Structure 1
Amino acid sequence: MSGPDDILPAYETEAARWARERNRTLWEEPALLATVAGRPPGLSVLDLGCGSGEPIAAWYVARADRVTAVDGAAAMIAQLRARVPQTEAIHADMRGLNLGRRFDVILGFNSFFHLCPADQRAMFPVFAAHSAPAARLLFTSGPSAGEAVGRVGGSPVYHASLSPHEYRDLLSANGFSVVWFRPEDPGLMGHSVRLAVAT
């Protein structure tokens, strides 16, 4: 069975194929719009597990926001630099990240859920340390606690989720409040998505 330690090697292997086949219909846009609602362009955005940068980082760049894109797979960062060169591209593991800067928007979209439960819990202080006042935090999880294995290209990939109650408690303990949680939302291609705001 694929585990969390296999994620970065899988994305190193699959980066070119993943970038080529990535759905670019921008089904994520309703969630992305919620992170910028009522705020003018020029926001600072931290995209954790950015992949190739298309379409999400590219969407913020087109809006004239400043995107710092982080991925633990060097092959993904190479795809990002080729496809969305306007970003600040950083090859780093999101776990334990310490950039010494704060951002208006933090994303863990279809990336955070590849971390094991213990590593997910440890990410909430990382989110807090990088959050500007009233920062929006957007991330995907599962609808309930559990682990699963999916596929990216020809590679199995691990996913995990905490319970909705535990996510709410972790957010609260680290200075965030939940704006909404949309479990398996048909309008978001069946993904379970949370939006929180730094309080």
Structure 2
Amino acid sequence: MTHPSASRIVGLYSDKAEGWIADRGPRLVAGEPRGLSEIDWFERFMTALPPGGTVLDVGSGSGWPVAAALIERGFRVTGVEPSPGLRAHAAETLPAGEWLDGDMRTLDLGDRRFDGLLAWHSLFHLSPADQRIALPRILSHAADACVFMTSTGQKEGEVIGEWRGEPLYHGSLAAEEYRTIFAAHGFTPNPIDPAEQDEYGNRWVARRG
């Protein structure tokens, strides 16, 4: 049975949008206790994109620091975020981006396709069952040549953390199931190198074309 905190995720970030903006901060994380830093992962992602390419950021939050870093490098970002407060902050502070109301479990942008897809620190807030719905929806918006980056747990299951006095849900599929879903959409992911991962989970950079 899925932990009840899974159904609270959108409400949690909606109710505490200002707290998340303050806690997340405006910059990518430069260092990790072990493994590659957030900056390192995003450098890999951005290097794989064509100059001025399009990026779909699913679970884009406030736009900071992820979309802001992409926009600064000249990429065209479309963010999808269900929290009104976070989405409004992105629209106000990053007018160069496109900010859409939406949930990755029901994502449908028609025939729009993107050079890059992101579900960074967002997909892992869904239950395993919901990830099986959301991940194919995200990958269906890939251009013929595309790079996808996401963060996941290391094995199938749930981990319940705590943030600002409330339970914070995290879910994951097994690594092999992620690989299977990637392959079904023509993506080849990076191998999982323990030396590159942090203590919280796996980082994937999957490429197509």
CA contact (8 A) 2:189 2:205 kept: yes
Report the CA distance between 1:23 and its aligned residue. Answer: 4.0
In structure 2, the residue matched to 1:164 is 175
1:59 pairs with 2:61: no
1:78 aligned to 84, 88, 91, which one? Answer: 88
Matches within 5 A, 1:16-165: 16-27=18-29, 28-37=38-47, 39-100=49-110, 101-165=112-176
1:62 maps to amino acid: E
Report the identity percentage: 35
Report the CA distance between 1:38 and its aligned residue. Answer: 5.1
Structure 1 unaligned spans of 5+: none
Distance in 2 between the 1:56 and 1:142 partners?
A: 20
Q: How many residues align?
A: 198
1:82 maps to amino acid: E
CA contact (8 A) 2:117 2:139 kept: no
Distance in 1 between the 2:195 and 2:118 partners?
A: 18
In structure 1, the residue matched to 2:34 is none
Report the CA distance between 1:175 and its aligned residue. Answer: 1.8
Higher relative strand content: 1
Structure 2 unaligned spans of 5+: 30-37
CA gap of 1:33–1:16, structure 2 versus 1, over 3 A, is same
- For the aligned residue pairs, the C-alpha RMSD in angstroms reads 2.0
CA contact (8 A) 1:2 1:156 kept: no
**What do the CA deviations read for 1:109-168 (whole angstroms, capped 9, x no partner)?**
000001111111122321232000121110111011110112232332211011111111
**What do the CA deviations read for 1:162-193 (whole angstroms, capped 9, x no partner)?**
1111111111122211124355846x574421
Alignment TM-score, normalising by the size of structure 2:
0.86
Report the CA distance between 1:10 and its aligned residue. Answer: 0.4
Alignment TM-score, normalising by the size of structure 1:
0.90
Moved more, 16-25 or 46-55: 16-25
